[in-house]
Amino acid sequence: MPSMEDLVPILIAIGALYGIYRLFSGPSAPSPPVPQEQVDSVKSMFPQIDEDRIRYDLSRTRSVERTCDTILRTGSLPAPPPGFVSRPTTPTTSSRPAAAAPAAQPAPSASAQSETLISRFHLESRVSDKGKAPEQPLESVAPEEWADSADKREAALRERKARMVLEARRKLSEKQQKKAEARATA
């Protein structure tokens, strides 16, 4: 039976042989492809990040949360190595058909959102025929004093929100008009 003094060099030799074997045996089997749903979920949160970088990081971490944490911590993801081949896969609809349907719906446009704000605050009557807000800027309205009743405070808050929406609409239309004039003169 070997003594304890003989066991340590044997363990070191076994470890060295294992390291040499791993070095010369080449890379291990390729990892399975990253599901497209994972890539799409990260891409929807961080559209500025390249899809190949997302796929590479997901192939390393196998976790959407870890990949998102890396992006939030560093601001980007490491570039894939030159030999990295991205293998996009088709989404598996059999496992979660209901979850894939909402992602396929197009996002509402900016004009639909502004129409929604106008209708939400019932400002259709306060918007002129041309679609512009009245010319009274928000800054020219004096701030009101704190009202005694909750109903008056709520009405004042609603009016202030309405004025902010109308002011933002007016500024946007002015900005678009200036762009159109600049294009016409150029």
Contact criterion met (CB below 8 Å) for 134 and 166: yes
Higher pLDDT, 186 or 91: 186
Mean pLDDT of 165-184: 88
Mean pLDDT of 132-154: 65
| Residue 37 pLDDT > 80 | yes
Neighbours of 131 (CB within 10 A): 12
| Residue 40 pLDDT > 90 | yes
Q: pLDDT band at residue 31, thresholds of 50, 70 and 90?
A: low
Question: Whole-number mean pLDDT of the chain?
Answer: 76
Of all residues in the chain, the percent with pLDDT exceeding 70 is 70
Ramachandran quadrant class, 31 (left: phi over 0; alpha: psi -120 to 50; beta: rest): beta
Determine the Cα–Cα distance for residues 136 and 134; give it in Å rounded to an integer.
6
Mean pLDDT of 37-47: 91
What is the three-class DSSP state of 51? helix
